[in-house]
Structure 1
Amino acid sequence: MSSPVSPPSDAGAGSSRRMRWMDLLRGLAVVLVVIMHGATIPLSTDSGFREWVVVNQYLEPVRMPLLMFLSGMLLPRALRKTAGEYLWGKFAAIGWPALVWMVLYGVLIFRNGPFDAAYWATGDYLWFLLALLGCYLIALVTRKIHPGLTAAVMIATVSLTSLTILPDRILYYGTFFFLGAWLGRYVLAWSRTHPIVPLLLLGPAAVLSHLAVQDGSLRGGSWQAAAISVTCLAVVMWFAPKIPSNARTWFLEWMGRNSLVVYVTHFPILVVIHRTMDQLGADPLLHVSVTTLGGLAVTVGMVALRPWTPWLYASPRGDHRRAALSPRQ
């Protein structure tokens, strides 16, 4: 859901393929975020449609860690800029849309209004952008330190059972950001390893994800959860560069290139649809189906309108082609 790092060093067509598979993964991840919120906004886990919530819990070890890892892959290139260029770029591409949508959501949607202290302390649904901005600020301060060491320090300092506070989220998800900055250059080489290696990881990844459904601490906020996520990411990163770019992947690639728009707009849209379905007294299956599909459809419409609403997603003085979740920054 970033100002980037230098992609690994294959050139020409290889570079183009690499960017498309990164777009694909980002698109898949943000679409999964929309689907997850479509299920979890309207219904509690005992509401009669728990199965859909459980399906999304299986994906939790991958969804946001993947977005952070991909953003971290782009960090080295960003750090080649001067500090002034770097800070302005991060504000224009991440800070500005986070601020705009925090205000819009707080004024128009959030029940407690825009002046609720907890709202700003947690970042509400926009926590990812704020955590990502925090990671970029840490990266500037620690630019002389190996990102692998930064990742190790961050996960070592995580001692929490939930991820409700923004500093905790920066520490935990920042681990994947700095792992991406460290290991991103090796992804293509990893994808060429013998299939037996990822196949040996696939079984443990599936089992651990299943265990995490029963134990929330294994889905995030602990070193055990981070280990599960890293195992799952290793499998994903072996497979993703092999996916050919074609008509079947076009939609997800497009969503990936516009993933910032998807991320900041989807939640207010889902909340409005959810409240409407609540008033209609819809049954759980219809409620989730309409909220999810309707939310996706309207969000796609917001992406299509992006050329006419650029100020919603980047500072008017910034580069409007940038997006905090886009690998092309």
Structure 2
Amino acid sequence: MPRTWHPRTPAVLTRIRRTARSTPKRRDRYVDLLRALAIVLVVLGHWLAVVVTTDDGIAGSNALGILAWTRPLTWLFQVMPVFFLVGGYANAASLTSHRDKGGDGLGWVLGRTDRLLRPTTAFLAAVWAVAVAALLLGTPPELVGLALWAAAIPLWFLAAYLGVVALAPLTHGLHRRWGAAVPLVLIGLVLASDTARLGFDLPLVGDANYLLVWLAMHQLGFLWRDRWSRPRPLVTAAAALCGFALLLALTMPGPYPTSMVTVPGQELGNTTPPTFALLVLGLTQTAAVLWLAPPARRLLRRSGPWTAVVAVNSVVLTVFLWHMSAAVITGAALYGTGLLAQWPVGSAAWLLQRVPWLVAVTLVLSVLVVVFGGVEARTAPSSAGWRISARTSSPVGNAAWRALIAFALAAMLAGLTGTATAGAGRSGVDTLSVVALGSYVMGASILRLARRRWSGS
């Protein structure tokens, strides 16, 4: 059979195996494992919490708001702090390498955001195209709005992570000068912010934690790479136990709720905004990550586990972006047609039905990854080379471009944040969502133009 007739999948697997075999020895494979594991656990947690109802048309709710016994399970599935920890480690390595090759911080940001924005742009374009088509075909606007809101849930995290990435050259500079003092100050600011919000009813002050918590975890990633390469097992185990005990003290008597994700109907949530309790969970997870590092690294020396990690990481952002869209499609297909019955939430039948639900939504997500995963896979893995070209060599031109890039980053982040936080009632094709999308498109387009100009191509 001619070579061009070969199916696509074996070629993809061959590329993944080749990438796994050619991994440099200096690469810390454990970091890649944690990134993949964090996304997989978040995806599973979201899918398990989804409750689809058909009493008055297709709708959805959250099992955490119905079943109180499920809320402690969020201590296992809320692993976004680990993702920011891993991001700090990886960004420190990438930024250091970029600077060693003569690049600057802004050039690094342009390259790093490129890897995140291309799959995100493809996601938004596809979701909006489907939403507009559904409206033109007569789908009720409220149903379109609900579907858009559910599909956009992952964007809140992406907006926060992009903000942290944009600040990484500055925060890494602070790390190199002040080291552990930086995350300690951030932890103190998070506690002060919660005190102002909960103790003195100053909600706007508490909103600072949307950035402070994730910055603190990101700074810990810097420390991990530079200073915690060989932690003592007894120290890390003791730190994890102390963190767990503190978390119990903060949640069992209060003031923080047990669930580490926001529960519908609760006045206080640990993610809206992120709280000191969520940060303590992140610190506890950090200690556990350091404690488990030696056996995990030994496991990843084997080709099988490492190849699996490489495969997941090649499409990890695509998986995250599309996992709630897969849930929307599966819910409509299975519950909307009656293929799955609507059992009382928490009943034995409902719990058993989680198994076929997970199988079906995994299959749908697999199809979406096959369709859209190539966008992420084709993105350049390195930001090296994003430097000022001769066409922007004048000081005035450079200053103008830097200001324009800063504006573009702000516009892009505002668009993502607006889309992610609109809520189910404001996520349809209305004025607010169109403005948010326009802000994102404008910012992402300017950044793409800047990459072309700065690369000298």
User: Shared topology, TM-score over 0.5?
Assistant: yes
Aligned to 2:432: none
Q: Does 1:319 align with 2:389?
A: no
Name the CA shift for 1:109/1:277 in 2 (closer, same or farther; >3 Å). Answer: farther
Q: Does 1:32 align with 2:32?
A: no
Amino acid at match of 2:119: P
Q: Does 1:236 align with 2:293?
A: no
Q: Does 1:178 align with 2:187?
A: no
The alignment of Structure 1 onto Structure 2 pairs a total of residues equal to 294
Amino acid at match of 1:54: R
Describe the SS at the equivalent of 1:282.
coil
Aligned to 1:57: 74
Aligned to 1:292: 358
* 1:189 Cα offset (Å): 0.9
Aligned to 2:407: none
Amino acid at match of 1:134: G
Describe the SS at the equivalent of 2:174.
coil
Amino acid at match of 2:122: V
Of residues 310, 329, 337, the one that matches 1:272 is: 329
* 1:252-281 superposed Cα distances (whole Å, 9 cap, x missing partner): 453234311211121110122123343223
* 1:134 Cα offset (Å): 0.3
User: 1:277 and 1:47 mapped to 2: Cα distance?
Assistant: 23
TM superposition score normalised by structure 1: 0.72
Please list, as runs of the form range in 1=range in 2, the aligned pairs for 1:163-242 lying within 5 A after superposition.
Answer: 168-190=209-231, 193=232, 195-207=233-245, 215-216=256-257, 219=260, 220=270, 221-242=274-295
Aligned to 1:325: none
User: 1:197 and 1:83 mapped to 2: Cα distance?
Assistant: 35
Which has the greater radius of gyration? Answer: 2
User: 2:235 and 2:171 mapped to 1: Cα distance?
Assistant: 33
Q: Does 1:144 align with 2:173?
A: yes
Q: Larger relative contact order (C-alpha < 8 A, sep ≥ 6)? A: 1
Name the CA shift for 1:113/1:95 in 2 (closer, same or farther; >3 Å). Answer: farther
Aligned to 1:327: none
User: 2:250 and 2:155 mapped to 1: Cα distance?
Assistant: 24
Name the CA shift for 1:288/1:107 in 2 (closer, same or farther; >3 Å). Answer: farther
Name the CA shift for 1:157/1:235 in 2 (closer, same or farther; >3 Å). Answer: same
Name the CA shift for 1:75/1:321 in 2 (closer, same or farther; >3 Å). Answer: closer
Describe the SS at the equivalent of 1:319.
coil
Aligned to 1:4: none
Describe the SS at the equivalent of 1:189.
coil
* 1:125-180 superposed Cα distances (whole Å, 9 cap, x missing partner): 222221111012222344532264543444444335799x9964332222101211
Is the 8 Å Cα contact of residues 41 and 274 (structure 1) preserved in structure 2?
no
Name the CA shift for 1:224/1:49 in 2 (closer, same or farther; >3 Å). Answer: closer
Aligned to 1:326: none
Aligned to 1:124: 153
Q: Does 1:108 align with 2:140?
A: no
Name the CA shift for 1:255/1:172 in 2 (closer, same or farther; >3 Å). Answer: same
User: 2:368 and 2:250 mapped to 1: Cα distance?
Assistant: 34
Aligned-residue CA RMSD in angstroms?
3.9
Is the 8 Å Cα contact of residues 151 and 175 (structure 1) preserved in structure 2?
yes
* 1:234 Cα offset (Å): 0.9
TM superposition score normalised by structure 2: 0.54
Amino acid at match of 1:185: D
Amino acid at match of 2:82: L
Runs of 5+ consecutive residues of structure 1 not aligned to the other structure: 1-10, 323-329
User: 1:229 and 1:22 mapped to 2: Cα distance?
Assistant: 16
